[in-house]
Every structure is written in structure tokens, then in C-alpha cells.
Amino acid sequence: MAKKNNPANNIQDLQFFGEFGGVNPSIADSSTFTYLAGKTMGDVFEGNREGCYLYSRHTNPSTSYLGQALANMENTKGAILSASGMGAITTTLLQLCSAGDEIISSRTIYGGTYAFMKNYLPKFNIKTNFVNTTKLSEIQNAITSKTKVIYCETMSNPLLEVSDIKSIAKIAKEKGIKFVVDNTFTPLIFSPSIMGADVTIHSLTKFINGTSDTVGGVVCSDEEFISEMIDVNTGSAMLLGPVMDSMRAASILKNIRTLPLRIKKHSHNALYLSIKFQKDGLRVVYPGLENHPQHNLMKKSMNEDFGFGGMFVIDALTKDKANELMEEMQERNLGYLAVSLGFYKTLFSAPGLSTSSEIPEEERETMGLSDSLVRISIGLDDDIERTYETMRECMQHVGIL
Ligand code: PLP
């Protein structure tokens, strides 16, 4: 029997020693590194010497430790950190595409990624075709001789659609197209590289860091692609420079140790509330519910120990009720009316009015992204029954239950 993939073990097994035997690696608080011989520095610049640090926009020991941890988690040979998730996404796409190339992207993606593809990349004559990536035929029909990248999120923001990564990877391989997957919503739950993705991206700002105190991003891929990204002459990460600071890398590395525990708890809480609110008669979107269109696909392809994720969406019937509900939930200390996700306290926002507002209204309508939806990133609440009772009272108060 094939060995079950458990990315949590790959985190557990990380063994880093600090400079003085510390149990956490020392922080390399330097932007530049010394050389004893001028010739060695020349060799490093020419890419002929491994393992030497030169300048922290290129690599830094602290970002390398975190990169190694994330590469282990994603089962890739390499990883490069960036100062934000958008820094990871934009540099990846600019590395893979040149003028005249095309991207096929899921139409339900994070609003910033959508805006970059729709409004920014055309300045470089790079065009994006937005399709429903849960329908393989739409991807196949959009492929042209110019297609360089297929892009999707494992679980899409904010509609929680799940893409069939294995099948899309097969299509991409057959056509020699690179397949890039944003795994921000589902760290540990999905392992896109094992399913055939060429590049896996995360916004570390969310679940992976988990404390909403920093932004950060990572690109996980093979050594060849990561080397290309940090090439001193042609690498987008090196030349555009959205580099992560070593202090932040060190703090995220500590937080990642608790990620498996946190993801299990987020998933447990989200499933609990989704089942309860669905029973109460609300329209709930959550991939752990049997009526979710990709529930069975997800069950087949996920790393089963980590659940269906910490995000769920409820329909508050109208935009005004959505706003009223979020204000009431904040008032009752259930969490914060704030964008972002993966925090230890619950965060809620109405994506149609915030993080997905970059997507034009008529396109939001076709994809079912209405202004009445409330996206909830459930926190690590210990007593989820108590949270349910209070949330239900808020819903009763605003008249949706
Ligand atoms: N990808 C997804 C799925 C996101 O939700 C976000 C931000 O909300 C990003 C990428 C961008 O990440 P960052 O805000 O760290 O730049």
C-alpha cells in the first residue's frame, strides 16, 4: 500500500540548531555577508558556489530555514520567500510569462490576483482567459499555442470551489504548460505538488503564520525554477525585490510548528458550525457538507487528517443584513469584522463588498458571488457550542433565522 502523505510529519521532523546550540535557529540579522577571498565572491555571483550567502535580497539564512520548512511541507525541492502573497504570485507569473503569452486562470480567485491578471499584465502584453476551472472542458477549450500558465486556487476565494488538481496537472503536462496553484486556504489539507502542480504558492499572511501580525508569501517548486527566480541577471524575485525580512521569517518559522494542530481545530470548528447552520435553514457553503458540489472530489484528494478547512460562507439574504450581522457578531465579541483569514480569532467580511470588489459586478453575478455573502474564517474557539449559540442569537437578532 502506498504510504500516506502526512505533511505534518515533514514539519515535525525539521531539526535546526541555533548558532550557540539554541533550539531555534539564530536570526541572521544582516543584509550583506563577508568573504575572506575576492575570488569566492566572484564565484558566487557567477552561480558557481553553493551554500554561500551574499546579500539578503538574494537569500538569507533565516529565510532559507523557513523556505526549507515550507518546501518540506509542500514536498518540493525548493522554495523562495517573499514579503507578501502577492509578491509570490506576481513574481512567479512574471518569471513564467513574456510578452505575447497567455494565462488560463480560474475566474474565482483572490481579488488582488484577479486585478493583477486583468489590469496589470496587459501592460506587458500578457493576456488572461478566466474560466471555471472546476470544468475541465473549459480549460481545454481555452488552451492556445500561446498558453504558458494554468492558474487556480486549491480552494477558491471566496466561493470555496475545489479544483481537480490531478486532472488539471495532467492536461498541463500533456501540453507543456506550467501549472501554478495557490494553496493559501488549504495548507496541509492539499499537497498540490504531489498531485502534479509545478508551482505551489501561499500567502503566509493567513493560516501558515496564523497570528495576523505580518504579511508574507512563498513560492514552492523544483530547484531549477527557484534558481531561475533568484538569478542575479534574469530572476523576477531578485530583480523586482519583494524580499522577506529575516526577523519575520524567524517568527513565521516558529508559528509553523503549530500549524497542524491549528488547521485541525479550524476545520473542526468550521464543520461544526456549517452543519448546525445548514440544519437551522441557512444557505451555507462549506466543502465538508455533502451538498457542496466538490465534496466527493475533495474527500478523494485531500490529506484526510486535516479536515475541510477553516473557511465557510453563509448567505445573509441581503447586503444590509450581511453588514448588520457582521457588526452584531463583532459587538458580541465573536470575532472581528476584518478581511484576511487564518487568525486565532474569527474574522468575517463580505467578499462582494471587499476582497473581491475588484471583480466587475456582472462577473460576480455569473459566478454567484452576491453582496449578501459573509465569509467566515473561524477561529480556534475551544468551546464551539458556545460560539454557535452566540452566533445564532446574532442571526436571530438581525432576522435571518
Ligand atoms: N491568495 C489568496 C487566496 C488570498 O486570499 C490572498 C490575500 O487575501 C493572497 C493570495 C494575497 O496575499 P497577501 O495579502 O499576503 O499579499
pLDDT tens profile 267-290 = 999 999 999 999 999 999 999 999
Query: How far does Cα 68 stand from its chain's mean position?
Result: 17
Whether the per-residue pLDDT at 370 is higher than 60: the answer is yes
**CA of residue 160 to ligand 1 center, whole Å:** 14
For the segment 5-34, what is each residue's pLDDT rounded down to a tens digit? 899 999 999 999 999 999 999 999 999 999
For the segment 62-72, what is each residue's pLDDT rounded down to a tens digit? 999 999 999 99
Whether the per-residue pLDDT at 184 is higher than 70: the answer is yes
Give the Cβ contact number of residue 380 at 10 Å. Answer: 18
Pocket probe mutation, ligand 1, options 153, 154, 205, 209, max atoms within 8 Å of Cβ: 205
Prior bond of 158 cis (ω within 30°):
yes
* Residue 349 Cβ contacting ligand 1 at under 6 Å: no
* Residue 228 Cβ contacting ligand 1 at under 6 Å: no
- pTM score of the predicted model: 0.97
Which residue's alpha carbon is at the smallest distance from atom 4 of ligand 1? 110
Q: Which atom of ligand 1 is nearest to the CA of 215?
A: 15
Output the average pLDDT for the chain: 95
Phi–psi pair at 128, nearest 5 degrees: -115, 130
How far apart (Å, rounded) are the C-alpha atoms in residues 241 and 169? 29
Give the Cβ contact number of residue 373 at 10 Å. Answer: 24
Those residues with Cβ within 8 angstroms of residue 112's Cβ, 6 or more apart along the chain or in another chain = 86, 89, 355, 358
Q: Which atom of ligand 1 is nearest to the CA of 86?
A: 16
Q: Which atom of ligand 1 is nearest to the CA of 340?
A: 8
Question: Do residues 211 and 181 lie in contact, with contact meaning Cβ atoms separated by under 8 Å?
Answer: no
How many angstroms separate the Cα of 237 from the Cα of each of 85, 95, 230?
13, 8, 6
Pocket probe mutation, ligand 1, options 81, 105, 157, max atoms within 8 Å of Cβ: 157
Residue 2 confidence (pLDDT): 56
Residue from 85, 80, 42, 45 nearest 63 by CA: 80
* Domains of the chain (ranges, CATH numbers): 7-256 (3.40.640.10), 260-398 (3.90.1150.10)
Pocket probe mutation, ligand 1, options 154, 156, 206, max atoms within 8 Å of Cβ: 206
Pocket probe mutation, ligand 1, options 70, 82, 86, max atoms within 8 Å of Cβ: 86
Mean pLDDT in residue range 377-401: 98
**CA of residue 163 to ligand 1 center, whole Å:** 18
For the segment 193-206, what is each residue's pLDDT rounded down to a tens digit? 999 999 999 999 99
Which residue's alpha carbon is at the smallest distance from atom 11 of ligand 1? 85
Question: Would strands 373-377 and 102-106 be described as parallel, antiparallel, or unpaired?
Answer: unpaired
Which residue's alpha carbon is at the smallest distance from atom 8 of ligand 1? 340
Whether the per-residue pLDDT at 357 is higher than 90: the answer is no
SS (H, E, C) 179-220: EEEECCCCCCCCCCCCCCCCEEEEECCCCCCCCCCCCCEEEE
Least trusted range by pLDDT, from 98-107, 167-176, 364-373: 364-373
**CA of residue 158 to ligand 1 center, whole Å:** 11
Mean pLDDT in residue range 371-396: 97
* Residue 153 Cβ contacting ligand 1 at under 6 Å: yes
* Residue 215 Cβ contacting ligand 1 at under 6 Å: yes
pLDDT tier for residue 142 given thresholds of 50, 70 and 90: very high
Question: Do residues 66 and 14 lie in contact, with contact meaning Cβ atoms separated by under 8 Å?
Answer: no
